[in-house]
Amino acid sequence: MADITETEQELTPPAGTAVLRPGRPADPVASAPGSGEPVPVQNTDAAVDEAGADMAAVASPVDDRVEPDAEPESEAPEPVSPSAIDELSAAKRQQKLRLLLRQCDRVLLLDFNLLAMSSWPDNYSVAVARRRRDLWLFSVTLTGLIFLTGMTGLIPAWVAGGGFGAFVIILLAGVPVIRRLYSGHETYLELIMRRQRLMREARKHIAHLEGEAGLVWQCAQMAEFNSALRSSRFQKLISLSEQRVLARYCVRRQHVRLFLIYMLESEKAYSRLEQAFFDGNQAAIDAGWNSAVAAPEPRA
């Protein structure tokens, strides 16, 4: 051993150093951060195998308390008591009655005397006044012809003068100021003008009652409290009221009287509706259903 040559000493590596062997590549060397000393890097395949094993070990335990595929059970709905159902239906009923009271409260503004038109001249009075007017016109025309004929000399002058005097007297008798001195009857023109005035006031009142929403159409919803509102003779009124043109088509007395009859039936239905509303409130108070108690809307 002592006879080792210098060449063999140079070929023999010192202890603790990496040795290159035939058939195996040298391990890569990396420097550690912050230091200049080289740190050996582990084999990549071995690191991947160790990481996979660690992940499998972590994922292998399964928590028995949580099942990933199991869906959370939905909570069963709580049963609704019959008392709650009755309270809800009573509240809806009271709200409906309250809405009807607010929509149809204009029926209380009805002026019966204005729509009844008690001072409406009847056909007999109009016919008599027309007959008096025709007689007056005939007398004026006849006396005027006698006077004009006397001016031509066909009849005596005294007859023509008498005809002129009669013409003037009859003509003045038709003047309203003089006629009222000897007769209290209205003329045909006055009767016609009174009819037109009454019809104009009635149509104005109908338009006021109808408003923008159509009162007749809204009162038709109270048929539950008065079956007369479902009568077929009122269907035309309801249709015109729904179109907001009822006042425009009321041009005859028959139309106004039909509207008045419908309003009287609506008043009956409204009074019954109001009583049903207050009875429903009292029943809700007695049952302890505070949510079903509704206060009526202020009237127009």
Report pLDDT digits (tens) over 35-66: 444 444 444 444 444 544 444 444 444 444 44
Other C-beta atoms lying within 10 Å of the C-beta of residue 126: 15
Answer yes or no: pTM beyond 0.75: no
Question: Which residue do the tokens 């009669």 mark?
Answer: 166
Q: In a 10 Å sphere around its CB, with 0-12 CB exposed, 13-18 middle and 19+ buried, how is residue 224 labelled?
A: middle
- Structural contact between residues 103 and 273, judged by C-beta atoms closer than 8 angstroms: no
Whether the CB-CB separation of 267 and 107 falls below 8 Å is answered with yes
Residue 151 scores a pLDDT above 50: yes
Q: State whether the Cα torsion 250-208-194-117 is positive or negative.
A: positive
Condensed to tens digits (0 to 9), the pLDDT of residues 231-271 reads: 999 999 999 999 999 999 999 999 999 999 999 999 999 99
* Secondary element (H or E) of residue 30: strand 29-31
* 107 contacts 217 by C-beta, under 8 angstroms: no
